[in-house]
C-alpha cells in the first residue's frame, strides 16, 4: 500500500469521492480499490503469506483443542495450572493494553489535547488487547458458551477472579464506547458520535477506576499461592502494586511500539498531523514511562528489603532476576531519560521495545518460569505454542484491518 500511495493512490478519508459521489460500505472495506486490485495487493504482501502458513498449521490444532480437550495441547496440571494461554494471553496482554485508560485520562480528563493525534491509537490498543486476552481465556477454559455462569449464575463475589472478570467485561464495554466516534465517522453515524461525546468524561472516569482495580487484582491472584512463586517475584504486601505500576510503563511503551510500527509499515494510512507530531508525542509518552519505571524499580527494591530476600540475589534465580531488572527496567529507564533530555525519539522507541520485552519477561517469570520453583520447570507443549501464535496472529490481523480503515491514524474529513 505504501508503494501504491507513491503512485498516486488516495485511500478513503471521507464520505465523498473526488467526483462528489458517496463511498459505499463495500468500497470503504476495500479501501477504495476494486476487488481485483485489493486482492492483488494482499497477494503481493509477504507478511500475508506468513499469516496463511500460520493459519494452515494452527487452525486445525485450535479446533482439536476443543475436540480433544486441554490435555491434548498443554502440560497443565495441579502443579502448573497456568500455561501460555494465560501466562501470555492474560498476564502479558492486559498490562500491554493499559494505554487505553491512560490516553483517555490524559486527553479527556487532564485536557492534554496535544496528545489527541495518538489518543485513538491508544484506545484501540487497549480494546484489542483486552478483547484477545478474553479470547485466550476462552481457549484455556474450553467452553465459551458457559462464560455467563461465573458472572451471573454461580457467583463468587469474594474471589479475586470474580472481580477481574467483571472489571474486564465492564471495561471492555467502556473501551468499545470510547471508539464509537471513530466507527461512527467511518460509517456515517453522526448522532452516535455526538452521544458518546456527551458522556465521554463519565466513560473516562469509569475506565480509570476499573483499570486500576483489575490491573492490581491480577497481581493479587498470586497471593492465593504463597510459597509457590519464587520470593524474588513475589511479595504479598506489594504484589498488586507491582502489577499496577508495571502496567503503566508497559501500556505507554506498547503505544510507542505500535505507533512506531504504524510509521514503518502503514505510513500510507497516516496523515500529516499524525506523522508530524509523532516524535514529539513519543517523547511525551517516554516521560510518563520513565516516571513509572523508576517508581516500579523502587517498589521492587522495597519489596525485597521488606521480605529480607537479599540472599536470593546470589543464587541462579537471582542472576535471572537481575537480568530481567537490568534489561527490562534499568536500561529502558536510562534510555528513556537520555531520549527525553536529548529530544531523541529514536532512542525512546528503542527503550520502548526493551520495556515491552521486560514486562513480558516479568509476567512469564511470575506466572510460569518461577512458579513452583522448588519442584521443576515445565516446558510448554508444542501445540500450546502453535495455538498462542495463531491467536496472536489473529490479533495482528484485526489490528491491521481496523487501522487500515477506521480514522485512527488519520482525521476523517466531515461533510460540510
Over residues 131-162, the pLDDT tens digits come to: 999 899 889 988 888 777 777 777 777 777 77
Residues 6+ apart with CB under 8 A from 68: none
d(CA 137, CA 306): 34
Between 322 and 13, name the one with better pLDDT: 322
pLDDT at 109: 83
Total count of domains within the chain: 1
**Would you place residue 207 in the very low, low, confident or very high pLDDT band (cuts 50, 70, 90)?**
confident
Lowest mean pLDDT segment, chosen from 82-91, 215-224, 257-266, 379-388 = 215-224
pTM (predicted TM-score): 0.93
Strand partners, 16: 22
Structural domain includes residue 2:
no
pLDDT at 202: 87
Q: Measured between alpha carbons, how far is residue 80 from residues 135, 186, 253 in Å?
A: 21, 46, 30
Question: Does residue 61 surpass a pLDDT of 90?
Answer: yes
How large a percentage of the chain has pLDDT more than 90?
A: 52
d(CA 114, CA 103): 11
Structural domain includes residue 357:
yes
Cell of 101: 485508560
> What SS3 state is found at 157?
coil
Query: Domain containing 226 — which CATH number?
Result: 1.20.1630.10
Which structural domain, as residue segments, surrounds residue 212?
A: 22-405
Q: What is the pLDDT of residues 385-415, one digit of tens each?
A: 999 999 999 999 999 999 999 999 999 887 6
**Would you place residue 317 in the very low, low, confident or very high pLDDT band (cuts 50, 70, 90)?**
very high
Q: What is the pLDDT of residues 266-308, one digit of tens each?
A: 998 999 999 999 999 999 999 999 999 999 999 999 999 999 9
Question: Does residue 203 surpass a pLDDT of 80?
Answer: yes
Amino acid at each position: 500500500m505504501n508503494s501504491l500511495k507513491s503512485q498516486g493512490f488516495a485511500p478513503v478519508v471521507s464520505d465523498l469521492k473526488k467526483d462528489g459521489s458517496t463511498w459505499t460500505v463495500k468500497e470503504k472495506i476495500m479501501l477504495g480499490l476494486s476487488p481485483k486490485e485489493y486482492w492483488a495487493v494482499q497477494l503481493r504482501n509477504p507478511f500475508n503469506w506468513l499469516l496463511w502458513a500460520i493459519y494452515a498449521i494452527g487452525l486445525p490444532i485450535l479446533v482439536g483443542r476443543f475436540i480433544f480437550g486441554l490435555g491434548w495441547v498443554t502440560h497443565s496440571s495441579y502443579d502448573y495450572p497456568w500455561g501460555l494461554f494465560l501466562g501470555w494471553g492474560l498476564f502479558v496482554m492486559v498490562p500491554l493494553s493499559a494505554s487505553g485508560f491512560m490516553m483517555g485520562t490524559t486527553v479527556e480528563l487532564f485536557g492534554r489535547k496535544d496528545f489527541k493525534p495518538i489518543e485513538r491509537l491508544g484506545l484501540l490498543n487497549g480494546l484489542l488487547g483486552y478483547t484477545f486476552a478474553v479470547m485466550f481465556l476462552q481457549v484455556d477454559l474450553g467452553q465459551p458458551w458457559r462464560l455467563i455462569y461465573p458472572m451471573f449464575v454461580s457467583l463468587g463475589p469474594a474471589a479475586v477472579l470474580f472481580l477481574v472478570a467483571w472489571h474486564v467485561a465492564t471495561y471492555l464495554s467502556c473501551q468499545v464506547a470510547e471508539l464509537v466516534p471513530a466507527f461512527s465517522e467511518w460509517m456515517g453515524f453522526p448522532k452516535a458520535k455526538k452521544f458518546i461525546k456527551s458522556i465521554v468524561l463519565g466513560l473516562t472516569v469509569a475506565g480509570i477506576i476499573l483499570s486500576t482495580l483489575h490491573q492490581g487484582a491480577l497481581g493479587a491472584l498470586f497471593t492465593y499461592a504463597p510459597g509457590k512463586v519464587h520470593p524474588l517475584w513475589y511479595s504479598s504486601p506489594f504484589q498488586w502494586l507491582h502489577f499496577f505500576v508495571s502496567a503503566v510503563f508497559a501500556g505507554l511503551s506498547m503505544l510507542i511500539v505500535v505507533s512506531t510500527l504504524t510509521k514503518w509499515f502503514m505510513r500510507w494510512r497516516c496523515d500529516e498531523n499524525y506523522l508530524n507530531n509523532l516524535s514529539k508525542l513519543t517523547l511525551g509518552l517516554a516521560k510518563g514511562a520513565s516516571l513509572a519505571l523508576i517508581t516500579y524499580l523502587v517498589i521492587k527494591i522495597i519489596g525485597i528489603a521488606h521480605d529480607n530476600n537479599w540472599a536470593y540475589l546470589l543464587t541462579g534465580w537471582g542472576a535471572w532476576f537481575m537480568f530481567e531488572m537490568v534489561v527490562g527496567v534499568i536500561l529502558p529507564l536510562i534510555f528513556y531519560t537520555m531520549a527525553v533530555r536529548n529530544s531523541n525519539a529514536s532512542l525512546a522507541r528503542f527503550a520502548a521495545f526493551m520495556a515491552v520485552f521486560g514486562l513480558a519477561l516479568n509476567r512469564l517469570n511470575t506466572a510460569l518460569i518461577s512458579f513452583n520453583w522448588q519442584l521443576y520447570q515445565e516446558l510448554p507443549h508444542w501445540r500450546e505454542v502453535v495455538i498462542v501464535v495463531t491467536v496472536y496472529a489473529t490479533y495482528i490481523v484485526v489490528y491491521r484491518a481496523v487501522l487500515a480503515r477506521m480514522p485512527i491514524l488519520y482525521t476523517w474529513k466531515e461533510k460540510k
